[in-house]
């Protein structure tokens, strides 16, 4: 970009609360990478890194970039007690190492593969009624239901409680325009979720089941078990982060394939390309756009000094569009290699649920391709969610041609 054209555009404005960023952050990310790769927001007192290499380095440098205050800017979510709601996402070693070593046993490839029959059954259970009328809301009638049921099945939540848990999770991530924290309804939802999980955990201790919650209660490593508080915070993380991000991933895949008919034809004509569909969506428009870190010690990045105790956003969505790493980065292309994705982080904090999310998405899209030959989206009626960290759709009205 030339100096003159940059001046014509005015100063860069970036805030995770800005509804304009929620609608389309990518032009702003491009300017940040070009003009201000180490960006400063004085109003909300944070820095933001937008280039792939800087973000990769930050993910790997846990000595400088700490998770201990959480990954979100919201005043109610940021601070030394963030681990109470965000579990592993708000911890550094050694606590992070200890808890991850216990819970990771339940997210191995073998464990996830064993869930496939139930994942597929749950997917069909929601897809069949959605397709019957030929028109449905892709998010509320399908993509929002499948991940919550899979997570609930995994942790043992009764079927009758699942829709309410999803409603509470939605309230937690929604942000009103001009409001820079969890809404009052979100606070109430958080309390209700904790009360629910406390009672649920008591019941599981009395009546063990064949589920993740029972395994978390019973698993012991080096003579240590998880406390009730640690288990509840991990379940809280699963139901909020695990549900929301996979729902948004599915919606984004559906939308961008519709916008790009030539790319859509690839998985619809050859289901072996569904993994490529998932991976390119994760790169092109991933559900997790940014995560926050706090600096342990001062650091200099690209000649910019950042103090200890500073808040630094790692803009994952920008890293995945970095032209220095991805050729034709703003083109949705299922044929591209995507080995440098930042969508699930990197290093010791690489997302524990990455394999589960990918598996869920592949199964859901596979079932759609089996039953749908073509579809249309009503762009006039679709709506995006407004969240500081997560990008995706609240509604995605769809009409389908059934095979």
Concatenating the DSSP letter of every residue in 79-118 gives: STTTHHHHGGGG--TTHHHHHHHHHGGGSSHHHHHHTHHH
Highest mean pLDDT among 1-5, 112-116, 295-299: 295-299
Specify the pTM: 0.92
SS3 content of the chain, % helix, strand, coil (to 5): 55, 10, 35
Helix (H) / strand (E) containing 136:
strand 135-137
Tokens representing 23 are 């609608």
- Residue 37 and residue 302 in contact, taking contact as beta carbons nearer than 8 Å: yes
Tell which residue, 105, 211, 216, 227, has the closest CA to residue 158.
Answer: 211
CA distance 66 to 70: 9
Instruction: For the beta carbon of residue 86, count every other beta carbon within 10 angstroms.
Output: 21
- Report pLDDT digits (tens) over 16-25: 999 999 999 9
pLDDT of residue 126: 96
Tokens representing 386 are 């407004």
CA distance 316 to 320: 6
Tokens representing 375 are 């579809």
- Report pLDDT digits (tens) over 25-51: 999 999 999 999 999 999 999 999 999
Q: Which domain holds residue 225?
A: 3-329+338-402
Tell which residue, 141, 54, 107, 377, has the closest CA to residue 216.
Answer: 107
Longest Cα separation, the chain: 69
CA distance 12 to 229: 42
pLDDT of residue 6: 45
Q: Which of 152-166, 203-217, 242-256 has the lowest mean pLDDT?
A: 152-166
- Residue 316 and residue 291 in contact, taking contact as beta carbons nearer than 8 Å: yes
- Bridge-based pairing state of the strands 311-314 and 46-49: parallel
- Report pLDDT digits (tens) over 49-95: 999 999 999 999 999 999 999 999 988 789 998 888 889 999 999 99
Confidence of residue 5 (pLDDT cuts 50, 70, 90): very low
Measured at the CA of 191, the angle between CA 190 and CA 192, to 5 degrees, comes to 90
- For CA atoms 329, 332, 337, 338, give the dihedral sign: positive
- Arithmetic mean of pLDDT, 357-374: 97
**How many domains does one find in the chain?**
1
CATH number reported for the structural domain that contains residue 391 in this entry: 1.10.630.10
Percent of the chain's residues with pLDDT above 70 = 96
- Report pLDDT digits (tens) over 265-319: 999 999 999 999 999 999 999 999 999 999 999 999 999 999 999 999 999 999 9
């Amino acid at each position: 970009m030339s100096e003159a054209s940059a001046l014509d555009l005015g100063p860069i404005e970036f805030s995770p609360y800005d509804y304009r960023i929620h609608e389309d952050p990518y032009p702003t990310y491009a300017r940040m990478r070009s003009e201000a790769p180490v960006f400063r927001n004085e109003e909300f007192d944070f820095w933001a890194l937008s280039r792939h290499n800087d973000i990769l380095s930050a993910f790997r440098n846990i000595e400088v970039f700490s998770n201990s205050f959480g990954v979100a800017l919201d005043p109610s979510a940021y601070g030394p007690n963030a681990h109470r709601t965000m579990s592993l996402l708000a911890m550094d070693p050694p606590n992070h190492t200890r808890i991850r070593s216990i819970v990771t046993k339940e997210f191995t490839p073998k464990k996830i593969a064993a869930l496939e029959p139930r994942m597929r059954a749950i997917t069909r259970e929601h897809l069949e009624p959605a397709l019957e009328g030929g028109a449905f809301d892709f998010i509320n009638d399908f993509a929002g239901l499948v991940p919550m049921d899979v997570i609930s099945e995994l942790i043992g939540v009764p079927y009758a409680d699942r829709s309410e848990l999803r409603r509470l999770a939605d309230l937690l991530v929604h942000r009103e325009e001009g409001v820079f924290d969890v809404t009052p309804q979100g606070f109430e939802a958080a309390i209700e979720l904790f009360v629910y999980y406390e009672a649920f955990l008591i019941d599981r201790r009395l009546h063990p089941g064949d589920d993740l919650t029972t395994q978390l209660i019973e698993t012991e490593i080096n003579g240590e078990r998880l406390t009730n508080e640690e288990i509840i915070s991990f379940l809280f993380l699963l139901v909020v982060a695990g549900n929301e991000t996979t729902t948004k991933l599915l919606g984004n895949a559906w939308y961008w394939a519709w916008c790009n008919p030539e790319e859509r034809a690839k998985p619809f004509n050859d289901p072996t390309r569904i993994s490529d569909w998932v991976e390119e969506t994760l790169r092109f428009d991933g559900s997790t756009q940014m995560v926050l870190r706090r600096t342990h010690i001062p650091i200099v990045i690209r000649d910019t000094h950042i103090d200890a105790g500073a808040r630094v956003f790692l803009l994952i969505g920008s890293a995945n569009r970095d032209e220095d790493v991805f050729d034709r980065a703003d083109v949705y292309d299922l044929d591209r290699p995507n080995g440098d994705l930042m969508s699930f982080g990197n290093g010791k904090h690489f997302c524990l649920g990455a394999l589960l999310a990918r598996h869920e998405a592949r199964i859901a899209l596979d079932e759609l391709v089996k039953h749908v030959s073509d579809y249309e989206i009503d762009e006039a009626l679709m709506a995006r969610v407004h969240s500081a960290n997560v990008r995706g759709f609240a509604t995605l009205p769809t009409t389908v041609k059934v095979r």
